[in-house]
Structures are given as C-alpha cells and as structure tokens.
C-alpha cells in the first residue's frame, strides 16, 4: 500500500497523530537498565538501548501510528549500536508501527541512490518505512529518494523548516524575494504532486518545527499534499495549539513527534512520585495517552 495511505490508515486506526521519538541516552535510561551495564562497553549499552526501545514499542504500539528512532544515539555506540538500531526498526515493524528513521541522509548521484536503497522500504537492508532527508544538495539529490519511494511504497520527510533556534541562519535567507525554506517547500510540492495516494497525500513529506507556528501554517498551505513531521513539541517548547495548524480539515496530514517527554516520563515531576523505577513503562504509557488527549482536546 502507498506510504501516505498507510500513514493515514494508522492515524485513523489509533486516533492519534503522536509519533514517539526513540532517542536513548545513557544518563537518562531507567536505573533498572543502567544497572545492567556492568563494564560500560558499547555492546552492553547497545543491549540496554535495544531493550529500552523495544519495551517502549510494546507499550505504545496500540496508542500511536509511528515511532522515530534517532540513528545518532545508536551510531554513537559503533557497530553494536547500529545492530541494535536494525533490531529496533524490525521490531517496530513487526509490532504494526510505521517507522521513520531519523538519519537526515543525503548526497549526490549514486551515493544518494545508495542511501535510498539502504533505508527505504520494508524489503531494504534497514527495513524502514521512511527516512528524514536533507535537501541542501539540490533536486538531483532528492530525486533518487522519491524514485525509491515509488518502487518500494516508502516515504521521506525532507527538512524544510527545522525546530532548532539556529535553523533560520540559512533557512530564512532570501533570494529573489523567497526564503530558502520556501524554495525547498516548492520543490517538495513539485516532487510530491505526481505521487498522490488515495488519501490525497504523497510520499514526499516535510519536517517543519512546532517552534515556528506561523511558518507551519504557511507551509501547510504551500505543501497541501505532503505529510508534515512536526518536531519540537513538549521539551522544545511547542504547544498543542502550535502543531494542530499542521492538520488538514480531516485531521490528517501531520504527525507530531515527542521524544524526551514520553520515553523518559518516569523522571518527570508529575510521574516520578506515581511510578517506581521498575514501572517506567507505565509512565511512558501514561505520558503517551496524555499527549494523545491533549492533541484531541485542543
């Protein structure tokens, strides 16, 4: 099934637009997992990361449509970490979740094709449904990814307007009366239009941060057929009213990522007195349900 349709079906099935970011960090893992690391070796941390992420998947698989493993945290552990990332991706797929691998990959020509071949599609070596992609090498660097989406019913999310405070240094610069992020959005729309699924959206999506709500509203209009992945909710300051403007009139077209506030919920003030360290998964479930409710009520 077309990637955009699979995502639309998953959002409808779960009644959620929440995407759980899988960003394992050594110092923030529950103590019960940290205690299993006896020699501080990459292999033991990789096992802890894998266990952590898979247990989160068990908790959220019926609550949300997708998860977003951040490759950087696994890469920091070397080959063992990358093996753990591969296992997490496969486990999420087997659990019925769509996977957005957050790798922000790209290059030119045959190298871009190799990245697309490596990550995109459940039959690829990495087995990911979709991948975050950088656009700044130009159109010819994005076309191989779009073509692989056609071949494997996969998706991509192109960096358009990122959530970090320094993103505007380049993204807001103007040429011929148009900002760089507006130029990227135009290319995303152009690549996406011939590839629409039954839901009216295509596989070439965009990343637009919740921390820039005015630009999010602008870009929703500029890319009406693209799914928007919205980071920056929660810990980075984005609020529910900021992200919901990314949805269309049917409540589709956007998914909202939240990482730290969900996966490390056991350490948050509102949960740490209610859940013991051994109940950290219950805190994840509670925080995920609370986010779902927050986005529905707003």
Annotated catalytic residue 104: yes
Decide: helix, strand or coil at residue 267. helix
User: Can you read off the two tokens belonging to residue 48?
Assistant: 């802890």
Helices (H), ranges, 98-230? 109-119, 139-152, 168-171, 180-192, 213-222
Of 26, 104, 161, 296, which one is the catalytic site residue? 104
Q: What is the DSSP string of 22-69?
A: E---GGGS-HHHHTT-SS--HHHHHHHHHHHHHHHHHHHTTT-SEEEE
Decide: helix, strand or coil at residue 152. helix
Alpha carbon 32 to chain centroid, angstroms:
27
Helices (H), ranges, 66-127? 71-75, 79-94, 109-119
Q: Kindly state the helix (H) or strand (E) to which residue 255 belongs, with its residue range.
A: strand 254-258
CA distances from residue 80 to 23, 70, 132 in whole angstroms, order as listed: 16, 15, 22
Decide: 229 and 100 in contact? Cβ < 8 Å.
Answer: yes
Distance CA 183, CA 269 (A): 42
Catalytic residues: 104
């Amino acid at each position: 099934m077309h990637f955009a349709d699979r995502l639309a079906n998953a959002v409808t099935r779960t009644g959620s637009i929440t995407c759980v970011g899988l960003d394992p960090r050594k110092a923030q893992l529950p103590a019960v997992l940290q205690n299993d690391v006896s020699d501080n070796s990459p292999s033991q941390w990789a096992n802890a990361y894998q266990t952590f992420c898979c247990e989160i998947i068990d908790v959220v698989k019926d609550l949300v449509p997708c998860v977003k493993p951040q490759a950087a945290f696994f890469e920091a552990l070397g080959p063992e970490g990358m093996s753990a990332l591969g296992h997490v991706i496969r486990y999420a797929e087997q659990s019925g979740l769509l996977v957005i691998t957050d790798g922000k990959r790209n290059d030119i020509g045959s190298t871009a094709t190799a990245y697309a071949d490596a990550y995109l599609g459940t039959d690829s070596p990495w087995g990911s449904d979709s991948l975050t992609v950088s656009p700044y090498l130009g159109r010819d660097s994005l076309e191989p990814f779009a073509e692989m989406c056609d071949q494997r019913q996969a998706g991509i999310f192109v960096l358009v307007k990122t959530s970090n405070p320094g993103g505007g240094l380049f993204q807001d610069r103007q040429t011929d009366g148009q900002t760089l992020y507006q130029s990227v959005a135009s290319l995303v729309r152009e690549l996406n239009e011939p590839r629409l699924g039954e839901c009216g959206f295509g596989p070439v999506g965009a990343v637009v941060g919740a921390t820039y709500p005015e630009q999010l509203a602008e870009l929703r209009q500029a890319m009406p057929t693209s799914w928007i992945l919205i980071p920056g909710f929660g810990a980075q300051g984005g609020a529910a009213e900021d992200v919901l403007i990314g949805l269309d009139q049917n409540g589709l077209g956007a998914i909202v990522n939240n990482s730290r506030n969900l996966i490390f919920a056991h350490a948050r003030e509102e949960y740490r007195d209610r859940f013991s360290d051994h109940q950290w998964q219950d805190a994840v479930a509670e925080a995920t349900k609370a986010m779902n409710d927050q986005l529905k009520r707003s």
